[in-house]
Amino acid sequence: MQRCLQSLGSVLESIEGEIIVCDNCCHGQCQKDQWPQVKFLCFSQNQGYTKLVNAGLKHAKGDYFLILNADTMVPEAKDVLLTLDYLRQHQRVGLIGPRLVGIDQKWQPSCFREHSILTVIYRRTFLSRTKLGQRLIDWLLYQDRDLNTVQEADWLMGSALMTTRKVIETIGLLDERFKMYFSDADWARRCRLHNLRVVYFPNAILVHRHQRSSDHGRGILDLFFNRMTRVHVKDAVKYFWKWRN
């Protein structure tokens, strides 16, 4: 989180805004003393991604919202400004997200086609190593497209998203039935149902220290040894049940 907050300093030098941190079990006064310009919303219990994002959105005062995970950093202010300009100029955009790269500058998937039950199964099991599995995953990740160009996607990774107050008033906040996963896919789906565009915007590049907490590389065994895997599967079941029709 420290690096994320540091990286946002140059952004606030360029535009008027506020920073709200929603933190599980944060260090309270210690954090506030170090970052007096930041508003901290501290929770004593783990709320999960969805509730934390919603808490921040409810307290935000502006008309444009940049949602960042704590492990995401903004290399240059222009990456946020370019995204904001695009959003302002295209009124039918509901969600917009940047290209994500790791600390090593390697590309990370951040835009996706709509999930199916098969894509979840193939990504979670040894089937991902089969030819059919790889083709299915490549299809999910838009590997048949030029991802260096601005384009619409079915949904975007929630690690870095920008939206507007008007959009939230139209489609609502994130669905808190999802604890950690699929709330971003669900949000995008609701955008599309309201004829709002979901835009992948590679002109802006953010750094993401992706930890993949739900995937320890053990396939189906992660269900037994990794709590986040079980959360991921539960959220997947809720997602497919919600959109079963």
Residues 5-53: tens digit of each pLDDT:
888 888 888 888 999 999 876 555 556 677 888 999 988 778 889 999 9
Tell me the one-letter amino acid at 185: A
Cα–Cα distance between 43 and 41 in angstroms, integer?
7
Task: Tell which wins on pLDDT, 138 or 127.
Answer: 138
Residue 195, CB-side half-sphere exposure with 13 Å CA sphere: 1
**Residue 185 clears pLDDT 70, i.e. is over it:** yes
Q: Would you state the pLDDT for residue 242?
A: 96
pLDDT-derived band at 243 (thresholds 50, 70, 90) equals: very high
- Let me know: does 206 contact 160? Beta carbons within 8 Å: yes
- Which residues share a beta bridge with 111? 156
201: part of which helix (H) or strand (E)? strand 197-208
Mean pLDDT of 63-76: 94
Mean pLDDT of 136-157: 96
Q: Would you state the pLDDT for residue 24?
A: 78
Q: Is the pTM of this model over 0.75?
A: yes
Whole-number Cα distances in Å, 61 to 85, 114, 225 = 19, 32, 41
CATH superfamily, domain 2-242, is Spore Coat Polysaccharide Biosynthesis Protein SpsA; Chain A (3.90.550.10)
Cα–Cα distance between 195 and 100 in angstroms, integer?
26
**Residue 214 clears pLDDT 50, i.e. is over it:** no
Tell me the H-state helices in the chain.
2-14, 29-34, 48-59, 77-89, 117-124, 131-140, 165-171, 183-193, 222-225, 227-242
**Residue 123 clears pLDDT 60, i.e. is over it:** yes
Cα–Cα distance between 179 and 188 in angstroms, integer?
16
What are the tokens at 115?
């999930």
Q: Would you state the pLDDT for residue 230?
A: 83
Q: Would you state the pLDDT for residue 218?
A: 54
Q: Would you state the pLDDT for residue 217?
A: 55
User: How large a percentage of the chain has pLDDT more than 90?
Assistant: 64
Q: Would you state the pLDDT for residue 224?
A: 47
Q: What is the pLDDT of residues 218-240, one digit of tens each?
A: 554 554 456 777 888 899 999 99
> Which among 203, 168, 160 has a CA at the least distance from the CA of 8?
160
Q: Would you state the pLDDT for residue 30?
A: 54
Q: Would you state the pLDDT for residue 74?
A: 94
Mean pLDDT over the full length of the chain: 89
To the nearest 10 degrees (0 to 180), the angle between helices 227-242 and 117-124 is: 170
**What are the boundaries of each domain within the chain?**
2-242
Among 77-86, 133-142, 214-223, 231-240, the range scoring the smallest mean pLDDT is 214-223
pLDDT-derived band at 61 (thresholds 50, 70, 90) equals: very high
